[in-house]
Amino acid sequence: MSSMSEKEQSTTHKIGIYLWIWGLLFVLSFFSYMVDWYQFQGLLRWSLILLFMFLKAGLIMAFFMHLFWERYALVNVLLWPMTAIGCFVFLMVAEFQYTVFTRLFYFVVGGQ
């Protein structure tokens, strides 16, 4: 039985923390909607969008999905593969820039 009570301690958390995270997610969503509402443009727009996005994703993963309380082995197994996605994004950014360049060069300039 002692192991059972330990188990329950490790798996339940106070309701307050969930309500706080819930509230924060609402506020962050509202902020990201406001970015569109006020029509921020350029660097300000996408830095704000990315900031709110990563904050929301982080809160959901850390607290709703309990990753904050999970063992390091699981956290590492889940988060390291994300670097591969990051690499892929960089590769594809280089790729679309090249595509745009060739399109401009051949369609617009005519390859001269």
Interface contacts to other proteins, rule CB under 8 A = 3, 6-8, 10-13, 15, 18-19, 21-22, 25-26, 29, 32-33, 35-37, 39, 46, 49-50, 52-53, 56-57, 60-61, 63-66, 69-74, 76-78, 81-82, 85, 88-89, 92-93, 95-97, 99-100, 103-104, 107-108
Give 39 or 112: the residue with its C-beta nearer to other proteins: 39
The sign of the torsion formed by the CA atoms of 7, 10, 11, 12 equals: positive
Closest approach of other proteins to the CB of residue 12, in Å? 5
Start-end of H helices in 38-80: 42-59, 72-79
Q: Which of 78, 81, 50, 52 is nearest to 66 (CA)?
A: 78
Gap between the Cα atoms of 35 and 58, Å rounded: 20
Do residues 57 and 82 lie in contact, with contact meaning Cβ atoms separated by under 8 Å?
no
Closest approach of other proteins to the CB of residue 110, in Å? 14
Give 83 or 112: the residue with its C-beta nearer to other proteins: 83
**SS3 label, residue 112:** coil
Closest approach of other proteins to the CB of residue 54, in Å? 9
